[in-house]
């Protein structure tokens, strides 16, 4: 199954994103905790793009594609803003977050802990971030 969503770059749209994702994940046989983790990871990537690459400009849009397979779910998040490569981003240590009283930096750490694979592609003027979550039938 393939699902798509266009999201304008406003923080207020994050709630719509969660609603979309929870509908997509509804038929997938995983726990509520796992669903929440997946929704969180996708939201963190989108929130980063909205805030940092697009500076919350509602005229900009990011495009999300979700491909649900039997063994895995693939999320493709495409935008044409300032490229932000998750893979090159160095997440801060927790102690540093506390010491510097930083309010950011935890999101990418969450994405790394939750997703099984993160890929980043820059094609022409389009950035694509691909997140893969394996569905282990344990």
- Name the 3-class secondary structure at 83: coil
Cα angle value 53/85/1 (rounded, 5°): 90
For 82-105, give the DSSP string: S---GGG--PPPHHHHHHHT-S-S
Asked if 80 is part of the footprint of another protein (rule: CB under 8 A), the reply reads no
Asked if 43 is part of the footprint of another protein (rule: CB under 8 A), the reply reads yes
Asked if 132 is part of the footprint of another protein (rule: CB under 8 A), the reply reads no
Asked if 101 is part of the footprint of another protein (rule: CB under 8 A), the reply reads yes
Strand order in the sheet with 117-123: 2-8, 61-68, 72-79, 126-134, 117-123
Look at residues 74, 54, 52, 51 and name the one whose alpha carbon lies nearest to residue 64. Answer: 74
Q: How far is the CB of 86 from another protein (least distance, A)?
A: 13
Asked if 26 is part of the footprint of another protein (rule: CB under 8 A), the reply reads no
β pairing state of 2-8 and 61-68: antiparallel
Asked if 82 is part of the footprint of another protein (rule: CB under 8 A), the reply reads no
| Of residues 114 and 131, the one with the C-beta less far from another protein | 114
x/- binding map, residues 47-66, to another protein, per CB under 8 A?
x--xx---------------
CB 94 within 8 A of CB 50: no
Q: How far is the CB of 13 from another protein (least distance, A)?
A: 8
Asked if 28 is part of the footprint of another protein (rule: CB under 8 A), the reply reads no
Q: What is the DSSP letter of 86?
A: G
Question: Which residues of this protein are in contact with another protein, per CB under 8 A?
Answer: 11-12, 14-15, 18, 32-33, 36-37, 40, 43-44, 47, 50-51, 94, 97-99, 101-107, 109-110, 113-114
């Amino acid at each position: 199954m393939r699902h798509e969503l266009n999201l304008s770059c406003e923080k207020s749209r994050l709630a719509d994103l969660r609603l979309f994702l929870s509908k997509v994940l509804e038929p997938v046989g995983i726990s509520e905790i796992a669903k929440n983790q997946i929704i969180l990871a996708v939201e963190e990537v989108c929130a980063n793009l909205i805030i940092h690459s697009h500076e919350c400009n509602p005229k900009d849009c990011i495009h999300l594609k979700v491909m649900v397979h039997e063994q895995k779910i693939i999320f493709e998040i495409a935008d044409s803003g300032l490229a932000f490569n998750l893979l090159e981003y160095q997440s801060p240590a927790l102690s540093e977050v506390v010491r510097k009283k930083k309010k950011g930096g935890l999101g990418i750490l969450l994405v790394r802990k939750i997703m099984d694979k993160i890929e980043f592609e820059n094609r022409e003027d389009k950035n694509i971030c691909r997140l893969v979550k394996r569905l282990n039938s344990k």
